[in-house]
């Protein structure tokens, strides 16, 4: 299986973690995809959403697509994958973790889409969006936006188990 793993604005999570088995991973750092390798955090966020960086990132990840690829994006990385898919990028499925900007997306994708959120993240899409736009949506009560960044611990393990289950894979 081919995974296109797109990071958040902190280049997290690092490749590996919940992936295992016979998986071909194309790891995309949002900073590099947005042609801003020197930026991280809030500076990269401003570049993405105010200076045209997201359009560059979308074009970058769209070039990696294919019918058998699965996109897994974290925060802004999920937004880039969603917008690439809305623009015609082909994928077998899409997983978005803490991609709060999806609340602004109005184009429903024609592939399976699974979303995961921290329940203490104030920016998650409302319940109506979560029921109608993705194929499935899961909120982890009590967790913050960046819950996926911690490699060790119960939250990361539960997330990767849920991702594998949603995709119907055992890696």
Write the pLDDT tens digit of every residue in 10-67. Answer: 999 877 656 666 788 899 999 999 999 999 999 999 999 999 999 999 999 999 988 8
Tokens representing 140 are 């982890």
Q: Would you state the pLDDT for residue 149?
A: 87
DSSP string covering 12-75: -SPS-TT--SS-EEEEE-HHHHTT-TT--HHHHHHHHHHSSHHHHHHHHHHTT--TTEEEEEET
Q: Would you state the pLDDT for residue 18?
A: 62
- For residue 155, is pLDDT > 90? no
Residue found by looking up tokens 């993705």 in the block: 134
Q: What is the mean pLDDT of the chain?
A: 92
If DSSP codes are grouped into helix, strand and coil, which group holds residue 19?
coil
Instruction: Report the distance separating Cα 68 and Cα 4, nearest Å.
Output: 10
| Span 112-122, pLDDT tens digits | 999 999 999 99
- For residue 169, is pLDDT > 90? no
Residue found by looking up tokens 């970058």 in the block: 60
- Give bridge partners of residue 115 from the DSSP assignment: 96, 137
* Average pLDDT rounded to a whole number, residues 130-158: 90
pLDDT classification of 171: cutoffs 50, 70, 90: low
Number of Cβ within 10 Å of residue 58's Cβ equals 23
**Which phi and psi angles does 114 have, rounded to 5°?**
-120, 125
Question: Count of domains in the chain?
Answer: 1
pLDDT classification of 156: cutoffs 50, 70, 90: confident
Instruction: Report the distance separating Cα 6 and Cα 120, nearest Å.
Output: 23
- Give bridge partners of residue 94 from the DSSP assignment: 71, 113
Q: Would you state the pLDDT for residue 126?
A: 97
Q: Would you state the pLDDT for residue 12?
A: 92
CATH code for the domain in which residue 118 is found? 3.40.50.1820
- Residue 132 domain boundaries: 2-167
* Average pLDDT rounded to a whole number, residues 140-169: 88
pLDDT classification of 137: cutoffs 50, 70, 90: very high
* Structural contact between residues 101 and 76, judged by C-beta atoms closer than 8 angstroms: yes
Closest CA to 113 of 76, 142, 86: 86
């Amino acid at each position: 299986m081919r995974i296109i793993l797109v990071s958040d604005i902190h280049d997290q999570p690092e490749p590996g973690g919940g992936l295992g088995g016979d998986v071909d991973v194309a790891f995309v750092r949002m900073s590099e995809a947005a042609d801003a390798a020197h930026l991280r955090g809030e500076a990269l966020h401003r570049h993405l959403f105010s200076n045209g960086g997201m359009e560059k990132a979308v074009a970058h990840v769209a070039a990696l697509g294919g019918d058998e690829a699965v996109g897994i994006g974290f925060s802004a990385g999920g937004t880039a994958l969603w917008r690439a898919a809305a623009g015609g990028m082909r994928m077998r499925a899409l997983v978005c973790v803490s991609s709060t900007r999806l609340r602004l997306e109005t184009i429903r994708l024609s592939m399976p889409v699974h979303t995961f959120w921290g329940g203490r993240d104030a920016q998650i899409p409302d319940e109506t969006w979560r029921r109608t736009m993705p194929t499935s949506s899961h909120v982890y009560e009590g967790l913050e936006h960046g819950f996926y960044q911690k490699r060790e611990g119960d939250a990361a393990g539960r997330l990767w188990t849920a991702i594998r289950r949603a995709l119907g894979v055992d890696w």
